[in-house]
């Protein structure tokens, strides 16, 4: 259910930027989700399709890009990327690690169409 509130936030950001750019429609949004993010692509897409109706964002495609989790070993200070399940440090074997990336969820870019771009097409 937390996908609904984050999807509403994305819609508001996209609508605000579209309005500032005098867009006639939003064509595509690129979203970045970390491997450890608890957000589900299909749920975000489902809510997007519901709440974007009747707005400048209706019909906009959502592109999801998953990024791997990154960890920092607190013993040897090596930073590494996970490939699969949580694993100890590949350098020293320590399990004392901190997540430094891969838990994010952010809007990376918005592709819009303006009346000027329609004239050029």
Tell which wins on pLDDT, 118 or 28. 28
**Spatial separation of the C-alpha atoms in residues 34 and 82, rounded to whole Å:** 11
| β-bridge partners, 68 | none
pTM equals 0.80
Q: How sure is the predictor about 67, in pLDDT bands with cuts at 50, 70 and 90? A: very high
Of residues 63 and 2, which shows the higher confidence score? 63
The residues with which 33 forms a beta bridge, in sequence order, are: 66, 105
Q: What fold characterizes domain 2-114?
A: hypothetical protein PF0899 fold (3.30.2320)
Residue 95 to residue 88: CA distance in whole angstroms: 5
Q: How confident is the model at residue 38 (pLDDT cuts 50, 70, 90)?
A: confident
The sign of the CA dihedral 10, 12, 17, 19 is positive
User: Domain segments of the chain: what residues?
Assistant: 2-114
Q: What percent of the chain has pLDDT over 90?
A: 79
Q: How far apart are CA 61 and CA 41, in angstroms?
A: 12
């Amino acid at each position: 259910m937390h996908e609904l509130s984050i999807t509403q936030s994305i819609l508001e950001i996209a609508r605000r930027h579209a309005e500032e750019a005098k867009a006639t429609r939003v064509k595509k949004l690129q979203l970045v989700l970390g491997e450890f993010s608890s957000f589900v692509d299909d749920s975000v897409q489902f809510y997007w399709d519901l709440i974007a109706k009747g707005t400048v964002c209706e019909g906009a495609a959502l592109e999801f890009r998953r990024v791997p989790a990154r960890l920092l070993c607190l013993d040897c200070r090596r930073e590494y990327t996970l490939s699969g399940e949580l694993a100890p440090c590949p350098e020293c074997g320590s399990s004392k690690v901190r997540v430094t990336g891969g838990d994010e969820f952010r809007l990376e870019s918005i592709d819009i169409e303006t009346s000027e771009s329609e004239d050029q097409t």
